[in-house]
Structure 1
Amino acid sequence: MSEFSAELIGTMFVILLGNGVVANVVLKGTKGSNAGWMVITTGWALAVFVGVVIAGPFSGAHLNPAVTIALAMVGKFSWAKVGGYVLAQFLGAMLGSFLVWLVYIDHFRCTEDPDTLLAVFSTSPAIKNLLFNLLSEIVGTFVLVFVIFYFTGAEISNPKTPIGLGSLGAIPVAFLVWAIGLSLGGTTGYAINPVRDFGPRIIHALLPIKQKSSSNWKYAWVPIMGPFIGAAIAAIVFSLLKS
C-alpha cells in the first residue's frame, strides 16, 4: 500500500468509526441512543486504534495534518511529502463521514434537530466563547503532539516508515486519544485534527439532509486553526527542550 493510500484509508476508518459512534449516541432511534460521553470518547479512541493499525506500517499513521506539519517542523518528516499526506487525510475524512451518513440514513431522516444532525459531522462548543474554545483545541492538540514526540521506535518494522501516530503503537495512541477526550474534550468536542472537522463539515453542507440547517462555518475556523497552533507550539517546545 502506498503512503497516500494508507493515510486516506486510515483516516477514512478513523472518521467512519469516530463519527459513527457520535451518530449512534445522538441520532434518534439507534441502539446506542443517549449512551453518553463515555461511549463517544471510547469509540473515538478505538477509531484511532483502527486507523493506526491500518496505516502505521505504510505511512507512519499521521492521520492528522497537525501531526504531519509538526513532525516536519522538527525535522522528523520531509516537507516535500506534507501536501500529499494532508490531501489524503482530507479526502479520507470526507469519505468516512459520507459512509456514516449512508449507514445511519434512516436515523438521519427521523432526527429533526439540526444541531444534532450537524454534531454527527463536526464539533461545536458546549459554551460558545471563541477565545477559550480555541484555547481548548490548542491545549488538546499540544498534548497529542507533544506525547508523540517523546515516543521512540517510530520506524516500526520498516526503517523508511515516516514517524507519526504509529510511533506510539496502536494501543498507546488509543489510550492517549481517550485521555484527551475524557479530560479535555468537554468544552468543544476535541477535534484536535483539522480534517476531522473540516472534511465532514463540507459533507454535511453537500448532503441532501432535509432537516439540516447551517453548517456553522462561523465557528469552523476554531477546530481548524486550534490544532495547527497547538501542534506548532508542541514542535517549538520540543525543539527547545531537546537543544
Structure 2
Amino acid sequence: MNGFIGEFLGTMVLIIFGTATGAGVNLKKTYGNNAGWLLICLAWGMAVTMGVYVAAAFGAQGHLNPAVTVSYAVFGMFPWHDVLPYVLGQFLGAFVGATLAIFQFIPHFKATKNEAEGNSVGIFATRPAIASPLYNLISEVVTTFVFIFVLLNLGDFTTGLKPFIVGMLIMVLGVSLGTTTGFAINPARDWGPRLAYTIWPIPNKSGAEWSYAWVPMVGPMLGGFLAAGLQFIIK
C-alpha cells in the first residue's frame, strides 16, 4: 500500500502542477497566458521534483512513470509484485491531478472559445508539432531512453537534492528533444490527463486525439526497455 499511495500522491502532484501550467499558458485571461515553452518545461521539471519528494515521503520510490517501473522490473531492478500497485497509483494519480487542474480553470475554459484560441487537449496530453507517426514514435523512444538512462545512473534519486536534479533533467529534455512531440516520456502522464479531458464536461473543448495516444504509450515503454537493457549489459 505504501507504494500505491506514494505513487498515487506523487503523480497527482506532478500532474496538477504540469497541467495547470499548460492551462495557465494556453487559456485566455490568465496571468500566465502566452508565457511560452521555456516556462512549461521548467514547470514540468519542478513538478517532477515535487512529485518525487511526495512519493518518497509516503514510502514509494518516486517512479511516477510506468516506463520506469516496468523497465526496472524487466531487468531485475524492481520487484514484480510491486509493479501493479505502482502503475495503478501512477495512472490514477495522473487522472486525479488533471481533474483538479480542470476545475481550477473552468472560467478560463469558458473564456477560450476553441482550439485556435488555445483550448485543446494539448493542455493535458502530448501532441506532435508535426504529425508523422514513425518519427513521433522515434522521438518518444529516444527522449525516454535518455531520461531513464540518466535516472539509472543517479542511483536512489529520492534522496537529498537528487529529485531537483531529476527536475533539471526533465527541463533540459523539454527544451531539447521534447520540442518535437511535447515529450510524454511517461504513459501515465499522457493517458491519465487525456482521459480526464475526455470524460469531464470542459467548456469549449476539442477532441481528445486518442488516435495519437498509442505513441506516448508505446514510445516511452520501448525507450525505457532500451535504457534499462543497456544498463544491464554494461553494468
The TM-score bracket by the shorter chain reads over 0.9
Aligned residues of 1:52 and 1:169 also touching (Cα < 8 A): no
Q: CA deviation at 1:74?
A: 2.1
Aligned residues of 2:95 and 2:195 also touching (Cα < 8 A): yes
- Return 5+ residue gaps in structure 2 as ranges: none
My pick for the range that moved more, 233-242 or 186-195, is: 233-242
Equivalent residue for 1:191? 184
- Deviation track 1:126-171 (CA, whole Å, cap 9, x = no partner) reads 000011111111111101110111123x2xxxxxxxxxx5267211
Q: CA deviation at 1:232?
A: 0.5
Q: Give the alignment of 1:9-48 within 5 angstroms.
A: 9-48=9-48
Q: C-alpha separation between the residues in 2 aligned to 1:81 and 1:26?
A: 37
Equivalent residue for 1:206? 199
Secondary structure of 2:107 counterpart: helix
Q: CA deviation at 1:118?
A: 1.0
Paired amino acid for 1:4: F
Aligned residues of 2:120 and 2:207 also touching (Cα < 8 A): no
Equivalent residue for 2:80? 79
Equivalent residue for 1:106? 107
Secondary structure of 1:166 counterpart: coil
Equivalent residue for 2:68? 67
Q: C-alpha separation between the residues in 2 aligned to 1:90 and 1:69?
A: 13
Aligned residues of 2:19 and 2:98 also touching (Cα < 8 A): yes
- Deviation track 1:77-124 (CA, whole Å, cap 9, x = no partner) reads 101110110000000000000000111111011112236321111110
- Normalising by structure 1, we get a TM-score of 0.91
- Return 5+ residue gaps in structure 1 as ranges: 155-164
The size of the alignment, in residue pairs, is 231
Q: C-alpha separation between the residues in 2 aligned to 1:108 and 1:224?
A: 27
**Are 1:232 and 2:225 an aligned pair?**
yes
Structure 1 runs, 4 residues or longer, greater than 6 Å off: none
**Are 1:120 and 2:110 an aligned pair?**
no
Q: C-alpha separation between the residues in 2 aligned to 1:80 and 1:223?
A: 25
Q: CA deviation at 1:15?
A: 0.2
Identity of aligned residues (%): 44
Q: Give the alignment of 1:82-161 within 5 angstroms.
A: 82-114=83-115, 116-152=119-155, 154=156
Q: C-alpha separation between the residues in 1 aligned to 2:129 and 2:61?
A: 33
